[in-house]
Amino acid sequence: MTDSPVFLDVGRPPVPDIVIARGVLPFFLPDRPVRGRLVRLGGLTDALLLRHDYHPAVAKLVGQALALAAGLSTALKFRGTFSLQAKGDGPVDILLADCTDTGELRGYARFDAGMLETLLAQSPAPAADAMLGSGYLAFTVDQGGDNRHQGIVAIEGANLAAMALHYFSTSEQLQCQIHLACEHTDAGWRAGALILEKVAGAGGTAPTLDAEAQDESWRTAIALAATLTDAELLDDALPPEQLLFRLFHTEGVAADRARALSYGCRCSRARLSGILQGFSDDDLDHMSEDGTIVMTCEFCHYDFKFPRTEMHGRIMGKR
């Protein structure tokens, strides 16, 4: 606890100060209707995942979600946040990941240990659909206030990449290709993504190609992307430009300006204090243990402790 009044204490908890300077590298194929993003979280993966006591199967799913959110957030052309949420009836009933326009990344999964143990007894490496079960996948763009757009589809697909592709094909009518990877390597947890998007020739990078030529270029790009291995995607020693050249040099790949990613939990004592002030004094008394109220941020897994004597709730029936 700090010496500042809780409503003035906006400082972040002691979390890792990690920035991956080239976390997302946008790219395009000149004279082809294809653009994409190469995402590599590097050591940030370890920092985000090891805040929680995840089973490796859960950590892998969260890491993939983080890489996907980081890549898709680059579409933001304004201040805001891109988030993905999967909610199902499987062992992992909630999966969350979000990234701001400035690259602040965070994620979280809630899971039932008993259900997970039963699933792992049946399959040591369960697929994402078995982990999440039946439910929905939501993508949200939030600019703050009332400016919020959300798309929701049913969870369909064996893995998180297939689920995202189902969303784009049904909700956004976009042709995409997505490769996600997250593994525990000799350097620790690593996660990455390769995302391709077909751009309309009339408004994209290939206005001179007819429809048939555009489709052929897209099929070629997908075939080349399919040669990517998880080991290549997660290799810290392989520069991103070199990896893109290895994949797409026959198409003349060109990189755009890279974007940084950072540890992005945005919790604070002041924010949680404001939440507590919404409870009645009776509720606060019930939440208190040995004179202290503990609130845990699910993203960074940090316990904020508030002396009960500093918390005064609203009067019941009044605002």
Tokens 């052929």, located at residue = 216
| Euclidean distance between CA atoms 141 and 262, whole angstroms | 19
Quick check: helix, strand or coil at residue 98?
strand
At 73, the amino acid letter reads S
The helix or strand, by DSSP H or E, that contains position 96, with its residue range, turns out to be strand 92-100
DSSP string, 15-73: ----EEEEEEEEEEETTTTEEEEEEE-THHHHHHHTTS---HHHHHHHHHHHHHHHHHG
**Structure token digits, residue 115:** 């259900």
Q: Can you tell me the distance from the alpha carbon of 134 to that of 120, in angstroms, rounded to the nearest whole number?
A: 18
pLDDT tens, N- to C-terminus, the chain (319 residues)? 445 444 444 455 566 778 999 999 999 999 899 999 999 999 999 999 998 899 999 999 999 999 999 999 987 777 889 999 999 999 999 999 999 999 999 999 999 999 999 999 999 999 999 999 999 999 998 876 667 788 999 999 999 999 999 999 988 788 999 999 999 999 999 999 999 999 975 434 545 678 888 899 999 999 999 999 999 999 999 999 999 999 999 999 999 999 999 987 776 667 777 777 778 888 888 888 888 877 766 777 666 777 887 777 654 444 3
The Cα 304–Cα 310 span in angstroms is 14
Other beta carbons within 10 angstroms of residue 273's beta carbon come to: 21
Alpha helices in the chain, H assignment, sequence order? 43-49, 56-72, 113-122, 128-132, 160-167, 211-225, 230-233, 240-248, 269-276, 281-287
Give the per-residue pLDDT at 51: 86
State the pLDDT at residue 17.
Answer: 76
Which amino acid belongs to residue 75? A
Separation of CA 290 from chain center: 37
Total-model pTM: 0.84
Is the C-alpha dihedral spanning 28, 256, 164, 131 positive or negative? positive
The H helix count followed by the E strand count for the chain is 10, 13
Tell whether the torsion through CA atoms of 72, 77, 83 and 84 is positive or negative: negative
pLDDT at 316: 44
Distance (Å, whole) CA 35 – CA 74:
12
CB 34 within 8 A of CB 28: yes
Domains of the chain as residue ranges with CATH: 20-263 (3.55.30.10), 269-310 (no CATH)
